Amino acid sequence: MLVIVIVAATVGCGGGDDSGGATTGAKIGGVAPSGGPVAWPAPPASDVARLVKAAGLALETHETLIHHVHAHLDIFIDGTHRTVPAGLGIVITDPAVHSGTTGGGPAYGGINPPCAQPCISPLHTHDITGVLHTESATAEENTLGQLFAEWDVKLTDSCIGTFCAPATPILVYVDGKPKPLAATADVALSNLREIAIVIGRAPARIPSEGDFG
């Protein structure tokens, strides 16, 4: 259950080769560090409906908790942990979407009563903790590719954002195990799954489990 410290309203729930050099000295294990600059900014609220549709999903008027699971995403660029922005998949300007803070950053959600117009995707981020929420009426799992579509960040067989292999090493880990970049978009956002994306120089430690606290 998402807990947010209230501000104004009640809110609820580089270079190198591609041969593995980016992992030199890295260790896998433990939970991810937090903080750091945003990896890529959240798109403007005016683009949310278009991007959610591009992800193959549909906006709803409120959070539906029949199927409620959490995955966790960490992104490292040249060894620095980067933050996943709050409010992905949410029209944060809608007056029914409450706002607050958690984890030292903004948070959005707690939509009750529902929005007058659809305002939230079943796949979204409430805050900057890296927790990816699937809150829907069906048990179908969402994918990492759908999240990146909502984020409006390119995710292809060779590129993430403006970074492309082999010019920049890009490694992906799912629960601490390497995953081919070409298969990254299809990674299911299963409950308690940890996904770590490492671009360029690797951090000292690559998480194998997420912090869902």
Helix, strand and coil content of the chain, in percent to the nearest 5, comes to 15, 30, 60
Are 187 and 73 contacting, i.e. CB atoms less than 8 angstroms apart?
Answer: no
Question: Is 98 within the bounds of a domain?
Answer: yes
Question: Is 4 within the bounds of a domain?
Answer: no
Q: What is the pLDDT of residue 210?
A: 86
Range of the domain at 82: 21-206
Question: Is 5 within the bounds of a domain?
Answer: no
Count of domains in the chain?
A: 1
Closest by CA to 106, choosing from 133, 135, 130, 126, is 126
Question: Is 213 within the bounds of a domain?
Answer: no
**For the chain, what percent of residues have pLDDT higher than 70?**
87
pLDDT one-digit tens code per residue, 76-120? 999 999 999 999 999 999 999 999 998 789 999 999 999 999 999
Tell if the pTM clears 0.85, that is, is over it. yes
**Rounded Cα–Cα distance for residues 126 and 151 (Å):** 13
- Residue spans of beta strands (DSSP E) within 51-169: 67-77, 80-82, 98-102, 105-109, 123-124, 131-136, 159-160, 163-164
**Rounded Cα–Cα distance for residues 13 and 2 (Å):** 4
Are 105 and 95 contacting, i.e. CB atoms less than 8 angstroms apart?
Answer: no
Question: Is 10 within the bounds of a domain?
Answer: no
Q: What is the pLDDT of residue 27?
A: 84
